[in-house]
Structure 1
Amino acid sequence: MTMIRAAARPMLAAMFVAGGFNSVVDPKRVAAKAEPVVGAVADRVPGVPKDAETAIRLNGAVQLGAGVALALGLMPRASALALAGTLVPTTYAGHPFWEIKDPADRAQQRIHFLKNLAMFGGLLFAATEHRKKRTKRSRWSCS
């Protein structure tokens, strides 16, 4: 692993570890915003809890676990994909800038939405990065 990868993974994971921990410990702070999205997802996806606080805790637990795994380089592709999956409902529920009338609030929520979109892109990069396979070479080979 290069030094850049060793530094980049924990940087990318830090927000998920912190946010996931907060969601597990205190889901009430975002439950009202998440309730409509949780209900819509629960109606369409089997296994998703209908209770907003339970769904937030579950989402937070996945973010916390996958964030730690990504930071440590454990199953980085699977961890990055799991985090990307949690980011979609989190962003949709948390930053619906298109519904906000006040220009200042709308601009602030758009910034957060785009920040999450950028993190989603970083996670897709992490999930699709290819490792070079090491091959045994003779000390005498020219390649």
Structure 2
Amino acid sequence: MAVLRKCARPLLASVFLSGGLSTLRDPKRVAAAAEPVAVPLGSRIPRLTEDPERLVRINGAVQVGAGVMLATGRLPRAAALALAGSLVPTTLAGHAWWKEEDPERRAAQRTQFIKNLSLLGGLLLAAADTHGKPSVAYRSRTAAKSGVSRSRATAKSGASRGRSAAKAGRHAVRHTRRDATGALSGAVKSLR
């Protein structure tokens, strides 16, 4: 399975690297198409610019950065989520097939829209991939259960140790009492 991941991740990342680099080189080419999505997005998210050209550059940079991370296997789950997040506005802005009047352009845009949905599905699978290791949620539940079991075992062994210590304490008190009684009677005899 490791070989499959090493091949699949770069293949999945390639479309984002290509598209992101293209957008970074010439953001004006796609800024006009991105404007209907970019401006409302920029106005809703604080500290995000409403300038479509800058938003397109940011999106391109995210696609290149996260694409490189996914292709090289560096934080692949986070990279896949970042790419999925960048793909949604790209798809809505660039492939709004429902707005096209020409039947041929409409069919072409619908095909691109569906292709991007397929990429989104692949990215979500990559984001959920745990490399065959248990997920964080599973490990948390297991740790919580074993923590409860360990605390019960610790409490039982602590109680057992406590009983042993109490028994040893009683034994020591008996011996100390006997020794003290013997010493006291010896002292009394020596005084006589």
TM-based fold match above 0.5: yes
Deviation at 1:35, TM superposition (A): 1.0
User: RMSD between aligned alpha carbons?
Assistant: 1.3
From the CA coordinates, give the structure whose radius of gyration is larger.
2
How many corresponding residue pairs?
A: 134
Runs of 4 or more above 4 Å deviation? none
Q: CA deviation at 1:102?
A: 1.1
- Identical residues among aligned pairs (%): 54
Secondary structure of residue in 1 paired with 2:91:
helix
Aligned equivalent of 1:106 = 106
1:48 aligns with 2:48: yes
Q: Structure 2 length as normaliser, TM-score?
A: 0.68
Map of 1:128 onto structure 2: 128
Q: Judging changes above 3 Å, is the alpha-carbon distance between structure 1 residues 75 and 121 closer, same or farther for their aligned structure 2 residues?
A: same
Q: CA 1:88 to 1:133, structure 2 compared with 1: closer, same or farther past 3 Å?
A: closer
Ranges in structure 2 where 5+ consecutive residues have no aligned partner: 135-192
Alpha-carbon distance change, 23 to 132 in structure 1, aligned in 2, over 3 angstroms: same
Equivalents in 2 of 1:50, 1:110: separation in Å?
27
Give a deviation string over 1:93-118, Cα, whole Å, max 9, x none.
Answer: 00000111111110000000000000
Q: In proportion to residue count, which structure has more helix?
A: 2
Q: Match of 2:20?
A: 20
| Counterpart position of 1:9 | 9
Equivalent residue number for residue 119 of structure 1: 119
Q: Which structure is higher in RCO with an 8 Å CA cutoff and minimum separation 6?
A: 1
Residues 43 and 49 in structure 2, CA contact (< 8 A), matched pair in contact too: no
Distance 1:38 1:58 in 2: 11
